[in-house]
């Protein structure tokens, strides 16, 4: 017969270790952005461009023609340049004094509440904000099929 091996008595874990740690969301600082223009009508054009190219967007022929087609002008809009790979929050836009009611996003991952719930060229309602995601301006202005998709989406959002 084999000798019995003594097993140590299990040591109870401290009470604090038995309880799971609370899940605390990691707060990240607000995403930095620059603005150009004003938005008395609540129209925001979200982009992600090099800072030196931001001023050029106000004179961009494609953007101005797009706005003209929906009965708007650049002076009624604010261009917001997101200076981070992370999306900006509507609350952050509003905290800076922008009346964001209609937002056009030209690029990927620009608006925090829309990153997983939207499709390009499909306008959606996010609370009290109408949002239309699209490709980058530089891509759309040279691609007639994307221009057509954008035009149909703009009609649904602004004219329909």
SS3 content of the chain, % helix, strand, coil (to 5): 30, 20, 50
Does residue 1 register a pLDDT over 60? no
pLDDT of residue 29: 79
**What is this structure's pTM?**
0.80
**Topology, domain 31-159:** Uracil-DNA Glycosylase, subunit E (3.40.470)
Could you report the per-residue pLDDT of 28-78, keeping only the tens digit for each? 678 999 999 988 889 999 999 999 999 999 999 999 999 999 999 999 999
Mean per-residue pLDDT, 140-146: 96
β-partners of residue 43 are 77, 102
- Phi/psi of residue 75, nearest 5 degrees: -65, -15
Check: CB of residue 143 under 8 Å from CB of residue 156: no
Torsion over CA of 92, 114, 137 and 83, rounded to 10 degrees? 40
Domain ranges of the chain: 31-159
- Phi/psi of residue 69, nearest 5 degrees: -65, -25
Could you report the per-residue pLDDT of 80-107, keeping only the tens digit for each? 999 999 999 999 999 999 989 999 999 9
Give the H or E element holding residue 45. Answer: strand 43-47
């Amino acid at each position: 017969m084999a000798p019995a091996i003594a097993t140590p008595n299990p040591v109870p874990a401290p009470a604090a270790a038995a309880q799971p740690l609370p899940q605390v969301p990691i707060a990240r600082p607000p995403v930095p952005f620059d603005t150009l223009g004003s938005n008395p009508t609540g129209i925001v054009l979200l982009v992600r461009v090099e800072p030196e190219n931001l001023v050029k967007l106000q004179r961009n022929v494609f953007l101005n023609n797009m706005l003209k087609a929906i009965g708007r002008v650049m002076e009624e809009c604010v261009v917001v340049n997101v200076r981070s790979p992370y999306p900006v929050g509507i609350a952050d836009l509003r905290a800076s004094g922008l009346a964001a009611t209609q937002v056009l996003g030209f690029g990927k991952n620009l608006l925090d509440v829309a990153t997983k719930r939207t499709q390009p060229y499909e306008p959606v309602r996010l609370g009290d904000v109408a949002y239309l995601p699209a490709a980058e301006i530089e891509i759309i202005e040279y691609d007639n099929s994307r221009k057509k998709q954008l035009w149909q989406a703009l009609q649904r959002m602004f004219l329909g």
